[in-house]
Amino acid sequence: MLKRGAKSKAWRGAQNYKVAASVTSLVLVLLVLFLLFRDDDRKSNPSFGLPNQKWNSFQPLVQFHPSVESRNGTDLIWQVPGSPKAVLFLAHGCNGRAANFWDRSARCPICVGLPEERLLVLHALARNFAVLTISSAGRCWTLGKERLLVKNTIRWWVERQKLEALPLVALGASSGGYFVSSLANELRFSSIALMVSAGAFDEIAIPKDYPPTLFVHMPKDLYRRRKISEYMDVFRKKGIDVAEIECLEFPLFPTFFAERIPGLDQSVSTKLFELFREKDFIDEKGYMKNDGRITRWKEALRELKITFPNKNLFHPVQEELNLAFAYHEMTSLQSEQIFKWFESHMS
Residues 134 and 270 in one domain: no
CB atoms within 10 A of CB 315: 14
What are residue 312's phi and psi, to 5 degrees? Answer: -70, -10
Residues 333 and 243 in one domain: yes
Is residue 289, in this structure, part of any structural domain at all? yes
Q: What is the pLDDT of residue 4?
A: 47
* Segment 102-151, tens digit of pLDDT: 999 999 999 999 999 999 999 999 999 999 999 999 999 999 999 999 99
Into how many domains does the chain fold?
Answer: 2
| Residues 157 and 180: beta-carbon distance below 8 Å | no
Is residue 104, in this structure, part of any structural domain at all? yes
- Amino acid, res. 119: L
Q: How far apart are CA 261 and CA 255, in angstroms?
A: 10
Q: How far apart are CA 39 and CA 52, in angstroms?
A: 19
Is residue 267, in this structure, part of any structural domain at all? yes
User: Whole-model pTM?
Assistant: 0.85
Q: How far apart are CA 183 and CA 201, in angstroms?
A: 12
Note down the domain range covering 155. Answer: 67-248+329-344
Residues 124 and 196 in one domain: yes
Q: What is the pLDDT of residue 15?
A: 53
Residues 82 and 219 in one domain: yes
* Segment 229-252, tens digit of pLDDT: 999 999 999 999 999 999 999 999
Residues 174 and 73 in one domain: yes
| Residues 323 and 261: beta-carbon distance below 8 Å | no
Is residue 45, in this structure, part of any structural domain at all? no
Picking from 278, 282, 256, 260, the residue whose alpha carbon sits closest to that of residue 269 is 256
Picking from 242, 250, 256, the residue whose alpha carbon sits closest to that of residue 218 is 250
Residues 138 and 93 in one domain: yes
Residues 313 and 167 in one domain: no
Residues 297 and 212 in one domain: no
Residues 237 and 279 in one domain: no
pLDDT confidence tier of residue 227, bands split at 50, 70 and 90: very high
Residues 208 and 81 in one domain: yes
Is residue 145, in this structure, part of any structural domain at all? yes
* Segment 311-345, tens digit of pLDDT: 899 999 999 999 999 999 999 999 999 999 999 99
- Amino acid, res. 187: L
* Segment 7-35, tens digit of pLDDT: 444 445 545 545 444 544 544 444 434 43
Is residue 41, in this structure, part of any structural domain at all? no
Q: Does residue 60 have a cis peptide bond before it, meaning omega lies within 30 degrees of 0?
A: yes
Residues 292 and 305 in one domain: yes
Q: What CATH number is attached to the domain comprising 93? A: 3.40.50.1820
Residues 136 and 201 in one domain: yes
